[in-house]
Homo-oligomer: A and B are copies of this chain.
């Protein structure tokens, strides 16, 4: 099968209680593609400025990530700055400089258009229709969204939901989107609007996959080593969809394992700043941690 990921590539300036990093490489498309690359060779769609590091493009190629859909434009790469408090679940956006990402109109190269899975990773929901119209008949359309779109374009988000199979969101976003505090009631509202699957990410508490008649939960791994939570959600989606693409079939056992692999990838990402941990991650470590997730909850 094959997996197309449409998302942002960015410079992130990150401040944690202990350390600050200026303009390190990040972005939803970056994290998601790197995480997925451990399972399947993903195809990325995005835009960067001329300032985007050549060695990261080389890294993508080494990881077999197809970058024919990556536009390099005159100007600067998207820049985001965020600060984390002592509780790593609390993050504050300090600034957002869209730069070349501001008028990004994704254009899918020919060989991308027959992909089986497409992931619309946290881009303006108003772009979805145009992107999907460029695709053949993907078996699976997945999307992510954030507070920004939910608060500024709620109708566009709900409309977009009508055309996707899987929605990835965190629990705060689910509550914001539905106005429901109770996660199960909120999940039912979302499932009623279109997607057959809702993946609710809960940070350190884990994640839940809601289907119309089943729920599966992954418990968050308890770790001392949380350096930078940026990219955890995108790594989750990358691991999840990469694994599904590799398996080629959306069965319940595959969905359960996909959610665990998503959690595994996210658990590595947060162990270092930016993409550092993913860069040095070995497949054996993924399998080892998959078993650790199983031991954690087995009884």
Contact = CB atoms under 8 A, between A and B. Distances in A.
Interface string A262-299: 00000000000000000000000000000000101111
Nearest to A222: B184
Nearest to A203: B205
A256 B220 CA distance: 17
Nearest to A292: B215
Given A202-B205, A206-B205, A222 B298 contact: no
B256 A299 contact: yes
A183 B204 contact: yes
Interface in A160-212: 181-185, 187-188, 202, 204-206, 208, 210
Contacts of A88: 181
B216 A182 contact: no
Interface residues of A, number: 36
Contacts of A294: 299
A228 to B, nearest CB: 14
A87 interface: yes
Contacts of A260: 299
B296 A216 contact: yes
Nearest to A297: B297
Contacts of A256: 298-299
B296 A222 contact: no
23 contacts: A87-B181, A88-B181, A182-B224, A183-B204, A183-B222, A185-B224, A205-B205, A205-B206, A206-B219, A208-B222, A210-B222, A215-B222, A216-B296, A216-B299, A217-B220, A218-B297, A219-B219, A219-B297, A253-B299, A256-B299, A259-B299, A260-B299, A294-B299
